[in-house]
A = this chain, B = another copy of it.
Amino acid sequence: MVFFSISEYYERITKTKHRMANEGIEVLLVTDPANMNYLSGYDAWSFYVHQLLVIFIDEDQPYWIGRGQDASAAFHTSWLEADHVYPYTDDYIQSSEKHPMEFVSDFIKAKKYDKKTIAAEFDAYYFTAKNFMKLKENLPNAVFKDGTNLVNWIRIIKSDQEIECIKIASKIAEGAMQAAFDSIDAGVRQSDAAAAIAHAQIRGTDDFGGDYPAIVPLLPTGDRTSACHLTWTDELFRQGDPVIIELSGCYKRYHSPLARTIFLGMPDENIQYIADVVVEGINITLDAIRPGITCEEVEAVWRRVIEKSGIKKDSRLGYSMGLNYPPDWGEHTASLRAGDHTILRENMTFHMIPGIWLDHMGVEISESFRITDKGCEVLADFPRELLVKPNIRLA
Contact yes or no, B209 A202, CB < 8 A: no
A10 within 8 A of B: no
Give bound CA distance, A154 to B341, whole Å. Answer: 47
Give bound CA distance, A44 to B232, whole Å. Answer: 10
**With A72-B226, A227-B44 given, is the CB distance from A195 to B202 under 8 Å?**
yes
Contact yes or no, B129 A122, CB < 8 A: yes
Give bound CA distance, A148 to B194, whole Å. Answer: 34
Smallest Cβ-Cβ distance to A204: which chain B residue:
B191
Give bound CA distance, A228 to B71, whole Å. Answer: 10
Contact yes or no, A69 B129, CB < 8 A: no
Query: Mind listing 25 A-B residue pairs with CB under 8 Å?
Result: A43-B231, A44-B230, A45-B229, A48-B327, A73-B227, A76-B223, A76-B224, A76-B226, A76-B227, A90-B314, A90-B315, A94-B319, A96-B149, A123-B128, A123-B131, A127-B129, A130-B146, A130-B148, A195-B201, A195-B210, A196-B199, A198-B198, A198-B202, A209-B233, A326-B327
**With A48-B327, A327-B326 given, is the CB distance from A191 to B218 under 8 Å?**
no
A8 within 8 A of B: no
In the assembled complex, the CB of A326 is this many whole angstroms from the nearest CB of chain B, namely 5
Smallest Cβ-Cβ distance to A192: which chain B residue:
B203
Contact with B along A319-337 (1 / 0, CB 8 A): 1000000111010100101
In the assembled complex, the CB of A107 is this many whole angstroms from the nearest CB of chain B, namely 19
Contact partners of A212 in chain B: CB under 8 A = 216, 231
Q: Given A73-B228, A122-B128, A195-B203, 7 other A-B contacts at CB below 8 A? A: A45-B218, A70-B229, A72-B227, A97-B339, A190-B209, A192-B203, A194-B202
Give bound CA distance, A192 to B96, whole Å. Answer: 41
In the assembled complex, the CB of A375 is this many whole angstroms from the nearest CB of chain B, namely 26
Query: Looking at the complex, which one of B48, B194, B198, B231 makes contact with A195 (CB distance below 8 Å)?
Result: B198
Contact with B along A123-138 (1 / 0, CB 8 A): 1111111111100000
Smallest Cβ-Cβ distance to A120: which chain B residue:
B129
Contact partners of A192 in chain B: CB under 8 A = 203, 209
The chain A residues found within 8 Å of chain B, CB to CB, are 43-48, 68-70, 72-73, 75-77, 89-91, 93-94, 96-97, 99, 120, 122-133, 146, 148-149, 189-192, 194-196, 198-204, 208-212, 215-216, 218, 223-224, 226-234, 314-316, 319, 326-328, 330, 332, 335, 337, 339, 355, 357, 359
Give bound CA distance, A128 to B124, whole Å. Answer: 7
**With A68-B314, A315-B69 given, is the CB distance from A199 to B195 under 8 Å?**
yes
